[in-house]
Amino acid sequence: MWEDLEYAKKRLHGKGLTLIIVKDFRVLFESKAHGVSAFLEALDKFGDKMRGTSVADKVAGKAIALLCVYAGVGAVYASTMSVKAKQVFENHNVHLSGAGLWKKYWMLQEGMFAPLRRQSWKSTTQKRLMES
């Protein structure tokens, strides 16, 4: 599993990908798309074959973490990972590798808000969180 994860990590950075899924030294899926759509596409395409895979993702938030748990992913590397995602992975015994954690990432990078998340936040809430 760790060899697959190391391979996925190198390929993620080397090819400028946003997501790569590896199992038994074979690339099952790779993408340059942003957001959860690429992972959902892989899950739809591979279903149960996702069990035990190693996933390298550019940015892993709670949504990706929950999808990984649902899919039975065995190990995850993320260049940037939310605290909530890390908690989900740890609570479900998914192996983690070298992720930079953030708490206020979404507030600092407003342009990267997912559309649904953007709609649910009010400017007063954002201001309060940025000040904390």
**Prediction pTM value:** 0.75
CA distance 50 to 6: 17
- CA 26 from centroid of its chain's CA atoms: 19
For every one of its 132 residues, what pLDDT tens digit does the chain have, with 9 covering 90 and above? Answer: 789 999 999 999 999 999 999 999 999 999 999 889 999 999 999 999 999 999 999 989 899 999 999 999 999 999 888 888 888 999 999 999 865 655 444 444 444 555 445 444 444 444 455 554
Give the Cβ contact number of residue 90 at 10 Å. 12
Look up tokens 């690339």; give the residue.
27
- Written as six digits, the tokens of 23 are 């199992």
Structural domains of the chain, with CATH: 2-102 (3.40.140.30)
